[in-house]
């Protein structure tokens, strides 16, 4: 396992490919004041994590009522590398700074095979780069944004510790950036409310591009992330769910020994789906 991990030292895994969205970009939500957050700890979901043989936490907030469910109060506040979930703010900053001209903004692949997913090894536009989690695409976007603008944007976003130490093209992969599940949920909440300091159309576009699955009456959006450091694998799925006029922001974070990192790839999606169904955000048939 370790020999395979060494092929891609800056990011270990591709994200699962979401179902392509077939509808036009969603309408921008009003940037009205958010309701006060009222957190409720529900430890009854812990057997789901135990059955999957992972340590983990799930946070889900109703953007309508402010009710926030947390399955592990302590772990919900622990900062970890965001890995590929950082592609969400990276895309927003790239659009806002003019590095990306829009959904069809294309970067040419340089021909270097970096390991990971074979879908990475081709030209990508923003939509396909998000869908296939093309690491090199977003590394180039970050280099073009530059350290000063990146740091300023992350501070303005209140994105985790906003620390870009470790290199402009790897700080979210192996560097100093850390974000907790609660902070991920807050960031996604602000994205949906159009309360981030970027153009509303950029927020609407990126949110739409996160669509994993949808049907009449509901939609499931999210971005996976997976990396390993200090002997531990960390897996993420963060996003938004809309159903019956209510929107929820959610974050799932999983941890396991580094040697089990590849196992987390399907587990993070199945566990997130099960928890979203458990708490009523998704219907039972969603994502099947």
Catalytic residue selected from 6, 32, 62, 84: 84
Q: How far apart are CA 241 and CA 218, in angstroms?
A: 7
| 84: annotated active-site residue | yes
For 223, other C-beta atoms within 10 Å of its C-beta total 27
Question: Helix or strand or coil: residue 166?
Answer: coil
Question: Helix or strand or coil: residue 198?
Answer: coil
For 224, other C-beta atoms within 10 Å of its C-beta total 27
Q: Are strands 67-70 and 38-41 parallel, antiparallel or unpaired?
A: parallel
Strand partners, 125: 106
The kind and range of the H/E element at 255 are strand 246-257
Instruction: Check: CB of residue 214 under 8 Å from CB of residue 75.
Output: no
Question: Helix or strand or coil: residue 117?
Answer: coil
Question: What counts of helices (H) and strands (E) characterise the chain?
Answer: 9, 9
Q: How far apart are CA 19 and CA 164, in angstroms?
A: 31
Q: How far apart are CA 288 and CA 275, in angstroms?
A: 14
The kind and range of the H/E element at 128 are helix 126-132
Task: Supply 225's token pair.
Answer: 């992330």
Task: Supply 154's token pair.
Answer: 């992350």
Task: Supply 202's token pair.
Answer: 């950029």
Active site residues: 84
């Amino acid at each position: 396992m370790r020999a395979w991990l060494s092929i891609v030292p800056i990011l270990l895994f591709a994200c699962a490919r979401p179902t392509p969205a077939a509808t036009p970009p969603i309408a921008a939500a009003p940037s009205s004041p958010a309701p006060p957050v009222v957190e409720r700890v529900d430890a009854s979901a812990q057997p789901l994590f135990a059955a999957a043989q992972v340590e983990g936490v799930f946070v889900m907030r109703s953007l309508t009522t402010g009710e926030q469910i947390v399955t592990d109060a302590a772990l919900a506040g622990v900062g970890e590398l965001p890995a590929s979930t950082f592609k969400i703010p990276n895309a927003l900053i790239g659009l806002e700074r003019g590095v990306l001209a829009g959904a069809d903004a294309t970067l040419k692949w340089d021909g270097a095979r970096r390991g990971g997913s074979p879908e990475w090894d081709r030209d990508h536009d923003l939509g396909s780069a998000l869908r296939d989690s093309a690491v090199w695409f977003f590394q180039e976007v970050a280099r073009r944004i530059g350290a000063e603008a990146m740091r300023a944007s992350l501070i303005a976003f209140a994105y985790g510790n906003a620390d870009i130490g470790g290199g402009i093209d790897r700080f979210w992969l192996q560097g100093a950036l850390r974000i907790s599940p609660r902070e991920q949920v807050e960031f996604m909440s602000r994205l949906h409310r159009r309360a981030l300091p970027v153009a509303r159309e950029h927020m609407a576009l990126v949110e739409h591009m996160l669509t994993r699955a949808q049907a009449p009456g509901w939609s499931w959006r999210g971005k996976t992330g997976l990396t390993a450091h200090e002997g531990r694998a960390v897996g993420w799925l963060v996003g938004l769910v809309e159903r019956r006029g209510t929107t929820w922001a959610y974050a799932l974070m999983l941890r396991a020994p580094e040697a089990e990192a590849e196992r987390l790839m399907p587990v993070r999606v199945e566990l997130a789906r099960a928890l979203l169904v458990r708490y009523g955000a998704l219907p039972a048939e969603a994502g099947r």
